[in-house]
Structure 1
Amino acid sequence: MEKVNTSERLAELRKLMKEHQIDVYMVPSEDSHQSEYIAPCDARREYISGFTGSAGYAVITQEKAALSTDGRYFNQAEKQLDSNWELLKQGLQDVPTIQEWTADQVAGGKVVGVDPTVVTAGDARKLADKIKKKGGDYKAVGENLIDLVWGKERPSRPNEKVIVQPLQYSGKSFADKIADIRKELEKKKSLGFVASMLDEIAWLYNLRGSDIPYNPVFFSYAVVTPTQAILYVDESKLTPEAKDHLGDKVTIKPYEAIFNDLTALSAEAFEANGDPAEKKKFLTSNRASWALNKALGGEERVDEVRSPIGDAKAVKNEVELEGMRKCHIRDGAALSEYFAWLEDQLVNKKATLDEVDGGDKLESIRGKHDLFMGLSFDTISSTGPNAAVIHYKPEKPLASIIDPKAIYLCDSGAQYQDGTTDTTRTLHFGEPTETEKTAYTLVLKGNIALERVKFPKGTTGFALDVLARQFLWAEGLDYRHGTGHGVGSFLNVHEGPIGIGTRVQYSEVSLAVGNVVSNEPGYYEDGKFGIRIENMVMVQEVETKHKFGDKPYLGFERVTMTPHCRKLVDTSLLSEDEKTFINEYHQEVFDKTSKFFENDPLSLAWLKRETAPY
């Protein structure tokens, strides 16, 4: 991981800040749609700071520059930030949040500026209040200053084709989805819903794109009212099939027209809506931008809510759930083939392979399988100490040679037309240390405990998080990332609103039948090794002897189909129940994936060995 010299970029930005009468400038990671993963043209925080992680926030004053990120990226940020930057490690004691740090810079009436398209309306309000209390001012800056610094070197905006996600994989027509949204509008007595999250729009209209690497989405906005369904997108991106699919039920308008249209739509609706005391409002997601909120007329005309599209999308229908089962079998076979090949290359053939070589081979194996559409994120192929970097991204020529005598962690996933996968396996091709085996087994026990739990309807992922950490906690150990995230159906690999972890939002939304979520505890020793075990599970109703309070009880159906690493398991730390659970899982893996290896004796032998009962 190389450091980028940011001195020249910061000097140019500070010059522009003076021209715009800005003392402090804020640069979040997200694009205008609050996307976690972004197109290269929107990687503004990465450009100005040199830090490439997916989560972070940069703030620049005339004298200082600070970058805030979470525990997944502490190690990476320390390696990538140059001497111009102060690293704020979020979550650690006495470390200010980026908002607190920013507010501390405004004494004497200084002005804080931000591009209003890349911050949410809610975040803008909260920060404005903090800055005002400290004597400063917070204002929207019409043009993005990082784009001006970047200039001609900035990548162009993507213009990829938009395709149809057929009913055989989506399980529900877009007309029915729009009808459901209209019922929500009626229930909430709203004028319409403005959708800005790209995966929500793709899901709503049963369309997919490729404007953002690994995320099958396309740049767009959508508005649904009781009488209209509008898609704001560059029409040249729509294939003939996509246009036929939308037909006359959806009005197509240019992507850039959204702000002027919302201003006009809002003015017209409010003028026609009678008594001001009775006026209905528009709904936006609480992730919608400050710019969208301003275009609609601000708080008096907008209610910010958890998106009804996001909630509906997170509950997969039976077609989507079956697609998840099927794609994870194919994906599990691909992973097993890769691990068998890698072990053979490293141990038997004494080959020299770096981490990128490994990831590329895995992608080529996945590509042989039905309905493969690409990867769902950059493959984390990491050896030894690199495995301790939670979101490590190997790149040539700096990628390390895979050491068969060290831990190897592979976190990877794929997009298939019938589902999205995300699996992490930690392996060792030599003789692991007792420390590594103990840590791996404690992580495995947490993974099993979470997968086996039964819980009453209404339980959140926040409440379940401790189950995965309990065995590590008993030894005074832990990990600095969430335990689980929602996953889309041929959509984003990270999907809200549900998840398992200590984030406040995970306490707000209960897990529900049809949710698909990861189960991925881990343990990391900086400079030595990292361990993570990740399975995908689906929430289902389960039978229990009693039903306290007449509530249904829920549990998880596992769908990831590749074995755990036998060499890393210390069986003396497992209970008989846990051994039985692993044996049953491994038998299922063998039964469902061995058919892929009828003409592949190497992979079949590896699978037999790794799934043999304890």
Structure 2
Amino acid sequence: MKKQNLDGFIVPHDDEYQNEYIPAYAERLMWATGFSGSAGAAIIMQDQAVMLTDGRYTLQVREQTDASFFSYADITETSPDAWLLENASKATRIGYDPMLHTLTSVKRLKAAASQIGFDLVAVSQNPIDLAWTDQPSAPQTPIQAHDLKYAGKSSNEKRHEIATVIRKAGADAALITAPPSLAWLFNIRGHDVARSPLPLGRALLDKDGNATLFVAPEKVGNELPGILGDDVDIRSDAEVTSALMKLGKSKTSIAVDPALAPSKYIDDLREAGATIVELTDPCAVPRASKNETEIEGARSAHIRDGAAVTQFLYWLDTEAQSGEIDEITAAMKLEEIRSQSDDLRDLSFDTISGAGSNGAICHYKVSTESNIKLGKNTLYLVDSGGQYYDGTTDITRTVPIGQASEEMCDRFTRVLKGHIALAQMKFPTGTTGHQLDAIARKPLWDVGLDYDHGTGHGVGSFLGVHEGPQRIAKAPNSQALKPGMILSNEPGFYKAGEFGIRIENLIVVTPPTPVKGGEREMMEFETITLAPINLDLVMVELLTAEERDWLNQYHTRVRQTLGPLISADIKGWFENATRQI
């Protein structure tokens, strides 16, 4: 920083693609601070530093970073620009890497700089990259075609649909920078990002449906050009900037998503003379609104995955009751069971295996330092998922090890009531997840309790386990829920230092249908995750008759659907785990 004449430098968790889970070479925030969470930022000044994270990581960030160097703030309340407004002084030079910041974030930073009078400096070389002497190389894994039997729609059809959106926006072409959209648009997958089958690259999609795909040449096999066809030109990712400059000199109108595109690309386009059309990623909503092939694939993937999770729940209810099994062993056992399926391609994220007090850390990541045993008379929370060609899964179950306390059972039942309330919702076209969030929280709010994470996130189709733009959360979200969108339903409760509870199933938005006697058609949620919900933690007296009916019907469906896949030696346990209450 001193060599670059910088008084401060902003270190986001983000990589050059705005991925949630990022390749090892892009873990700049973790290298600089020790924090391994999937969201956050640091601002490092010459005389002070701050860690900015959200409520999911309040405990984790303090455990992983040194408080003698860092102060802490909630990024939802204190964004980087807000912190700089309070802490940066006039005439200081604050650096940022324009490949890691979007146009939207840079606009906010520039507004703060203008108000205070500090200089915001776009660096050509990231000081962390210069200091990180053993930084891993960028991944060069081969790109694979995603078969039409899983995708349900050809790349050619998708490209022409998105081209219509580009034309309506008044642009000549669109710059696609988000790897999930790249994967969806071209029906390709990769292995560049841990736990997500994403190929890193960029694309330019013309308003006529032709496209240029920019990826590292090492990733392109002999078959890919033929699969994509003559309307897709494959070039090296090193040519992105020159291609943008050429378009700019031609006075082309380029659509970019200001919340996703690196600000450097937009600066390059403007400098070359292009007209910028700000357009939300045109692939995002079509990608999130799964077609019938993708929905049926998700159902199938969840049946196979549910059978594996059920086998693991049996293991938890028997061998793991000894109190001698630790979190790492449990996570490895679950992965071993899942891996018995030849269809499993990868986990969809690192398993959250939280025993006792570690379960109270919402997005806990077990390590050899934090690893503890599933002790007697505690709760164990396991949040996990798998990647399959036909779908991505994500499921959380909470189980007792030994005897659960009355408080644990009360909290579990309230979480279950919220889960059921959301699962049963009917809602009209145009409803957002923000409008539904409180429904899942009410049973906890009734007794003065809450949780500090969203109730639901979008899930991809053999893509990221966290997918936008749909979500169910307190934070405002203008994206209406649409048929085919897959989301999680995961209310929870966490008592710091003692235990955590979460119940998570995936749900898919159904098409609107008439309601008898009603005036408007309503959409609903179809629950596609199938595995027992622990009944030993349920206080039946706290459930209404309607809630009991939902739970009984859910377990009947679990028993009927998974029964043929359950091994004979656990049939008795399985019948009891899905019994009527």
- Find the counterpart in structure 2 of residue 366 from structure 1: 338
SS at the partner of 2:184?
A: helix
- Find the counterpart in structure 2 of residue 396 from structure 1: 368
TM-score by length of 1: 0.92
Could you tell me which of 492, 508, 523 is aligned with 1:522? 492
- Find the counterpart in structure 2 of residue 578 from structure 1: 547
- Find the counterpart in structure 2 of residue 275 from structure 1: none
Amino acid at match of 1:608: E
Distance 2:381 2:257 in 1: 40
| Matching of residue 555 in structure 1 with residue 524 in structure 2 | yes
Shift of 1:48: 0.5
| Matching of residue 162 in structure 1 with residue 140 in structure 2 | no
Which portions of structure 1, spanning 4 or more consecutive aligned residues, are displaced by more than 4 angstroms?
none
Deviates more, 1:465-474 or 1:186-195: 186-195
Give structure 1 stretches of 5+ with no counterpart: 1-16, 271-279
Q: Does the 8 Å contact 1:260/1:295 carry over to 2?
A: no
| Matching of residue 448 in structure 1 with residue 432 in structure 2 | no
Could you tell me which of 353, 360, 383 is aligned with 2:325? 353
CA distances 1:232-254 after superposition (whole Å, capped 9, x unpaired): 00122123332321132210111
Could you tell me which of 495, 508, 519 is aligned with 1:538? 508
Counterparts of 1:175-324 in structure 2 under 5 Å? 175-227=156-208, 228-270=210-252, 280-284=253-257, 286-297=259-270, 301-324=275-298
Deviates more, 1:493-502 or 1:103-112: 103-112
Could you tell me which of 101, 121, 135 is aligned with 1:139? 121
SS at the partner of 2:132?
A: helix
Q: Does the 8 Å contact 2:8/2:94 carry over to 1?
A: yes
Counterparts of 1:326-345 in structure 2 under 5 Å? 326-345=300-319
- Between the two proteins, what is the percent identity of the paired residues? 37
Amino acid at match of 2:4: H
| Matching of residue 377 in structure 1 with residue 361 in structure 2 | no
SS at the partner of 1:155?
A: coil
Shift of 1:285: 5.2
Shift of 1:514: 0.7
Could you tell me which of 17, 32, 36 is aligned with 1:33? 17
- Find the counterpart in structure 2 of residue 124 from structure 1: 106
Could you tell me which of 582, 596, 603 is aligned with 2:565? 596
Aligned residues: 577
Shift of 1:546: 4.1
Distance 1:266 1:606 in 2: 66
Distance 1:148 1:306 in 2: 33
Amino acid at match of 2:147: P
SS at the partner of 2:212?
A: strand
| Matching of residue 422 in structure 1 with residue 406 in structure 2 | no
Amino acid at match of 1:611: T
SS at the partner of 2:87?
A: coil
- Find the counterpart in structure 2 of residue 565 from structure 1: 534
Instruction: Classify 1:203/1:285 alpha carbon distance in 2 versus 1 (closer, same or farther; 3 Å).
Output: farther
Shift of 1:304: 2.1
Could you tell me which of 457, 470, 473 is aligned with 2:442? 470
Shift of 1:547: 4.4
Q: Does the 8 Å contact 1:194/1:285 carry over to 2?
A: no
Shift of 1:18: 1.6
| Matching of residue 88 in structure 1 with residue 61 in structure 2 | no
Amino acid at match of 2:263: W
Q: Does the 8 Å contact 1:486/1:499 carry over to 2?
A: yes
| Matching of residue 174 in structure 1 with residue 174 in structure 2 | no
Shift of 1:124: 0.0
Shift of 1:341: 1.6
Amino acid at match of 1:451: A
TM-score by length of 2: 0.97
Shift of 1:191: 1.1
- Find the counterpart in structure 2 of residue 3 from structure 1: none
Shift of 1:100: 1.4
Amino acid at match of 2:549: T
Shift of 1:176: 0.3
